[in-house]
Amino acid sequence: MVELKEVELKKDKSVFGQISEYNHEKVVFCHDHETGLKAIIGIHNTVLGPALGGTRMWSYASEAEALDDVLRLSRGMTYKAAISGLNLGGGKAVIIGDAKKDKSESLMRRYGRFVKNLNGAYITAEDVGTTTKDMEYIKMETDYVAGLPEAMGGSGDPSPVTAYGTYMGMKAAAKKAYGSDSLEGKKISVQGVGHVGGYLVELLAKENAQIFITDIYEDRLRDISSKYKAKVVGMEEIYDLDVDIYSPCALGGTVNDDTINRLKCRVIAGSANNQLREESVHGPELVKKGILYAPDFLINAGGLINVYSELQGYNRESAYAQTERIYGYTLDIFELAEKEGIHTQLAATKMAEQRINSIGKVRSTF
């Protein structure tokens, strides 16, 4: 049984204390002296199917930080898969190390052996710090890997599909907040024009939205702004802009105590994971301010839907068609939130948990 808990947990800092608070099924610590591999695989919930989620490689400041990241991210995957109607559980893995310096073929393949030993309970894919090339190395050791290059029969870069789902969620939010899902003439700020943000801007430009962009990288800003006539703004300025929609597509936690009173938008809809710094605080505060929040794990699920499609023999059209359903799901969440008088992120979590619990019962007999 999955229990409803909002994300701000972690009162007990012991390893089992944290695993128990997040309610994980299994957490695997992987170590290999030869290659220097130190990885943690978090399998949060497999009621709906095998746990699927990317492997992140990052120079964590501490092992505790790595554990916290893998627990939080794998839990998020459970909800993302459940709410998107996929028969997948939630999992994620982290490799501790600098992706630029510490990565090697042998390290990735050794890691692949650990994934193999889980016999399909966990299927891995790309994430921050890992690439399709790394997935190829993992594939040499196990079949439990997705997100392979298109040339190898895989689904390739998930970012265009993620951007499409985010766009669908944004349109649904516009419909709810403004009475029409047209984004024509709407002032929209996009924070981070990397893989997803870049494709999102392209979709917004096609609808003649007025686009404002920010990023760390000047060359990326120059490129996107000249291609799509987007106005470049400062990295801090983005929070003070008088816009209709704010779209966080860079980092998590940007809706927080410092920014929330500066935002003038009526809608927040972006691709970043964990946009609300503290769900139980900032979710209700957005409601009070009259800002409609499109739940992140719902509207950024396009990438997962794309990878899921790969498991059944990749079909791009069907991945897009399934991603388009995010529009309807987002409207359902707004309705549930209104009916129950709760914030939208909590409504999305509840809906995901309802599906896991009800399907768990369907599968309770042989």
197 binds ligand NAD (CB under 6 A): yes
251 binds ligand NAD (CB under 6 A): yes
Residue 145 is classified by DSSP as B
d(CA 228, CA 94): 36
192 binds ligand NAD (CB under 6 A): yes
Taking the complex as a whole, the smallest distance from the CB of residue 243 to ligand NAD amounts, in Å, to 15
Taking the complex as a whole, the smallest distance from the CB of residue 347 to ligand NAD amounts, in Å, to 20
158 binds ligand NAD (CB under 6 A): yes
Does residue 92 have an active-site annotation?
A: yes
191 binds ligand NAD (CB under 6 A): yes
Give whichever of 112 and 169 is closer to ligand NAD, judged by the CB atom: 169
d(CA 264, CA 139): 47
DSSP-assigned letters across all residues of 68-80: HHHHHHHHHHHHH
Taking the complex as a whole, the smallest distance from the CB of residue 294 to ligand NAD amounts, in Å, to 13
244 binds ligand NAD (CB under 6 A): no
Give whichever of 89 and 303 is closer to ligand NAD, judged by the CB atom: 303
Mention every residue, 6+ apart, whose C-beta is less than 8 A from residue 111: 30, 37, 39, 55, 95, 138
Angle between helices 316-324 and 302-311 (to 10 degrees): 140
Q: For ligand NAD, which residue of 74, 84, 124, 162 counts as binding (CB under 6 A)?
A: 162
Token pair listed for 176: 């709810």
Give whichever of 37 and 238 is closer to ligand NAD, judged by the CB atom: 238
Q: For ligand NAD, which residue of 194, 253, 284, 360 counts as binding (CB under 6 A)?
A: 194
Taking the complex as a whole, the smallest distance from the CB of residue 116 to ligand NAD amounts, in Å, to 25
271 binds ligand NAD (CB under 6 A): yes
Taking the complex as a whole, the smallest distance from the CB of residue 128 to ligand NAD amounts, in Å, to 7
Q: For ligand NAD, which residue of 84, 210, 247, 300 counts as binding (CB under 6 A)?
A: 300
Q: CA dist 160 to 30, 97, 105, 195, 305, Å?
A: 32, 28, 28, 8, 12
Taking the complex as a whole, the smallest distance from the CB of residue 79 to ligand NAD amounts, in Å, to 13
Q: Exposed, middle or buried: residue 325 (CB in 10 Å: 0-12, 13-18, 19+)? A: middle
Q: Which residue among the candidates 38, 80, 92, 186 is catalytic per the annotation?
A: 92
Q: Any long-range contacts for 337-346 (C-beta under 8 Å, 24+ apart)?
A: 343/279, 343/283, 343/284, 343/286, 343/287, 343/293, 344/283, 344/292, 344/293, 344/294, 344/295, 345/276, 345/279, 345/283, 345/293, 345/295, 345/296, 346/6, 346/279, 346/283
Give whichever of 102 and 157 is closer to ligand NAD, judged by the CB atom: 157
Interface contacts to ligand NAD, rule CB under 6 A? 158-159, 162, 191-197, 214-217, 220, 235, 249-251, 271-273, 300, 303
Which residues belong to the active site? 92
